[in-house]
Amino acid sequence: MSTTRNPFTSEESPAAGVVIEDLSKNFGDHEVLKHISLRVEPGEIFVLMGPSGSGKSVLLKHIVGLEEATSGRVLVDCRDANNEETREKVRMALVFQAGALFNSMTVYDNLALYPREHRIATEAGIREKVERALQILSLEDTASKFPSELSGGMRKRVAIARALVMEPQLLLYDEPTSELDPVMAASISEIIGTLRDEYHVTSIVVSHDRDLALSIADRVGLLMDGELIALETPTEMRASKDPRVIDFLNPRIDVKNPRFKKLET
Ligand SMILES: Nc1ncnc2c1ncn2[C@@H]1O[C@H](COP(=O)(O)OP(=O)(O)OP(=O)(O)O)[C@@H](O)[C@H]1O
C-alpha cells in the first residue's frame, strides 16, 4: 500500500483508495448512474469529466457518503462509503466549487476551524498546521484577510489549504478551476499535481477543464449520460478513436446549427 507523507508532521499515514463496484443510482425513474465500476489507486490523481448533467457530482456524493446507491457499492479505504464509521476513520476533504469559506472569518480562522472543533491539536499546534498550509499554497500574506477581500483564484487556494489542514488521505475537488482565468486555472492544476507528487494524497477531481485533465491526471474517466464510456490515461484519451471522446475533447462550434436550438425542438 502506498503511504501519505504527512506535510505537517513526520507521521506516515496510508493514502486512501476508492473502489466502485457496479454502482447504479436512480432518482425516481431517472437512471442517473449506470453500472459504474472503477478503482482509484492510493496516491493517484483521477479526473472525472463529462458533459453537464452526466452524473459527475452524484458520483462524487456517493464517494463521500452523501448519497446511497440504488445497487452496487462504493468502498473508501476498503470501508463502505455509507458507513458512519468510514467518515470517522478515513480523512476525506472536499474542495467545493465555490470554495465554501465562511465570509465572517479571516482566512486564518477558516483554516483553524476544523482542527479547533475536533481538538486535534493545541492552539500552538494548530498555528503550525495553518501556517504550513498557507505556505504550501503561497498564501502567507492572506492570513488576516477576509475571503471577500480575495480574488476567486486565491479563494480556491484557501479552500485547498483548508482541506490540507485536515491532513487528508483523500482529497476530492469539485470543479476546482471553474470561473478562473487560464493562468490561474493552470496554477491550481499545478498545485493539485504538486500535492500528489510531494505528499501522495489520493485526489479525485471533477472537472470540465480538458487541460487540467490531460496534464495532471494519472487516469481520466469520461461519464456520458450516467455511463462511464472511457477510463484511460491522458495519452490513451488523446489517441482515442471513439467519436464520443473525440467530440467531447474537441467540441466544434457550429453557429449555423446551434445545439440549444436542437434541444428546444
Ligand atoms: N437529488 C436529486 N434528485 C433528483 N435528481 C437529481 C438529484 N441530484 C442530481 N439529480 C439529477 O442527476 C443528473 C446528474 O446530475 P449531476 O449534478 O451529477 O450532473 P453533473 O455531471 O455534475 O453536471 P454539472 O457538470 O452541470 O455540474 C441530473 O439530471 C440531475 O438533475
pTM of the model: 0.85
Amino acid at 52: S
Cβ of 57 less than 6 Å from ligand 1: yes
Q: Please write the tens of the pLDDT for every residue from 213-248.
A: 898 999 999 999 999 999 999 999 999 999 999 999
Q: Is the CB of 62 under 6 A from ligand 1?
A: no
Of residues 255, 96, 88, 249, the one with CA closest to residue 160? 96
Decide: 25 and 12 in contact? Cβ < 8 Å. no
Q: Is 226 in the pocket of ligand 1 (CB under 6 A)?
A: no
Q: Give the residue among 207, 226, 227, 225 at the shortest CA–CA distance from 217.
A: 207
Ligand 1 closest atom vs CA 208: 25
Domains, the chain, in order of start with CATH, read 3-91+171-264 (3.40.50.300), 102-166 (no CATH)
Counts of helices then strands in the chain (DSSP H, E): 10, 12
The residue contributing the CA closest to ligand 1 atom 19 is 53
Instruction: Express each pLDDT in 64-119 by its tens digit.
Output: 999 999 999 999 998 999 888 888 788 888 887 656 788 899 999 999 998 888 88
Q: Is the C-beta atom of 158 inside 6 A of ligand 1?
A: no
Asked whether the beta carbons of 209 and 215 are under 8 A apart, the reply is no
Mean pLDDT over all residues of the chain? 86
